[in-house]
Amino acid sequence: MYGNDFSTEPSEPLNAAETGGVEQAMAHEDRRAQLLSEAEVADRQEQFDALIAADQRIEPRDWMPEAYRKTLVRQIAQHAHSEIIGMQPEGNWITRAPSLRRKAILIAKVQDEAGHGLYLYSAAETLGAGRDELLDALHSGKQKYSTIFNYPTLTWADVGAIGWLVDGAAIMNQVPLCRCSYGPYARAMIRVCKEESFHQRQGFEILWALSRGTSEQKAMAQDAANRWWWPALMMFGPPDAESSHSEQSMAWGIKRFSNDELRQRFVDMTVPQAQKLGLTLPDPDLRYDEESAHWRFGEIDWSEFKRVLSGDGPCNAQRIAHRRKAHEDGAWVREAASAYAAKQAKRTAQAREEAVA
């Protein structure tokens, strides 16, 4: 799952692409690039522009403008971070899932989120970013993740609301990314989108069950919808007028639709689903506009969005602390895997020597 709602105004290096790590990793490519004359660079820029204009994909070995590479590394990395941080709010309910069926489903979903993070980190690596540097940037707060994951999951119904609303919004954001101009990112998104549809359906199913249950269960579903509706709308990012990087990303074919367009589509898709569930969305201004055939919604509280984005959400500190601890606690597993590989390599070499002797 993923939103378009992380910081887009870097005041400090956001990732490996800006710290010199990429330059190191791409040393041989860069040496070639440095040898290019101005005329050759202009020539390659022209080829790049022609590919973009023809709606063709850019592949890892193609020449690309440095700003395009940096933008992609930042976006793909923050997308990957969102996937793995997104495991936490739902992971919180695995041990308390109401049945074995629900527990198995939730485990499968959290596994998927981990998998999505891995697809995306490897896509970022095709641009020369190092996995460790990206994780460091997440742990140190240099890179962000979707603000939606800074909200807590207070009841079981929140697991349903996340699947229905948060994954629903993520799908709306991610489907156009399947046609993103950067090949490896687009291909990763195709895999992700195929897997997301189970996520959204299982969320809807949870709320469908609760909304036809006891009055307490109905109230629990309504409470979850109340708390997740507005943050879900914020997942599409700031209004177009304030979205600083959108225009360039559109020109590069990284982004296909504006934040406001996608948000409107999400509202149009979701309101009838809420009606079906018998849930009220917490917006007194929500009304159907016959003329435009769209659902009109009220003002989004962008001050809340900015507050959560800047670190002052209910769970920001908890999410990063948990992520860091998981990484540190996992150190022995990584060390053990390396030690085992080294031992196997040594044994294979010994066996080979003995066979020769």
Partner 1 sequence: MSDWPLWEVFVRGKRGLNHTHAGSLHAPDAQMALRNARDLYTRRGEGVSIWVVPAAAITASSPDERDSFFDPAGDKVYRHPTFYDVPEDVEYL
Residues that bind partner 1 (CB under 8 A): 51, 56-59, 61, 101, 104-105, 108, 112, 183, 186-187, 195, 197-198, 200-202, 204-205, 208, 269, 272-273, 276
Closest CB to partner 1 among residues 89, 168: 168
Name which of 32 and 325 has its Cβ closer to partner 1: 32
Closest distance of CB 191 from partner 1, Å: 11
In the complex, minimum distance from the CB of residue 171 to partner 1, in angstroms, rounded to a whole number: 9
Question: How far is CA 23 from its chain centroid?
Answer: 25
Closest to partner 1 by CB, 99 vs 244, is 99
Distance CA 344, CA 353 (A): 14
Candidates 149, 120, 150, 148; CA nearest to 135 is 120
What is the rounded distance in angstroms from the CA atom of residue 257 to the CA atom of residue 213? 39
Query: Could you give the CA distance from residue 130 to residue 133 in angstroms, rounded to a whole number?
Result: 5
DSSP bridge pairs for 58: 182
Q: Which is nearer to partner 1, 154 or 342 (CB)?
A: 342
Shortest distance (Å) from residue 352 CB to partner 1 = 14
CB 314 within 8 A of CB 149: no
Instruction: State which residue, 90 or 133, has the beta carbon closest to partner 1.
Output: 90
Q: Which residue has the tokens 């049945």?
A: 99
| In contact, 155 and 220? CB cutoff 8 Å | yes
Tell me the C-alpha distance between 248 and 73, whole Å: 15
Using DSSP's 3-state secondary structure scheme, residue 237 falls into coil
CB of 143 to partner 1, least distance (A): 27
To partner 1, the closest distance from the beta carbon of 11 in angstroms equals 35
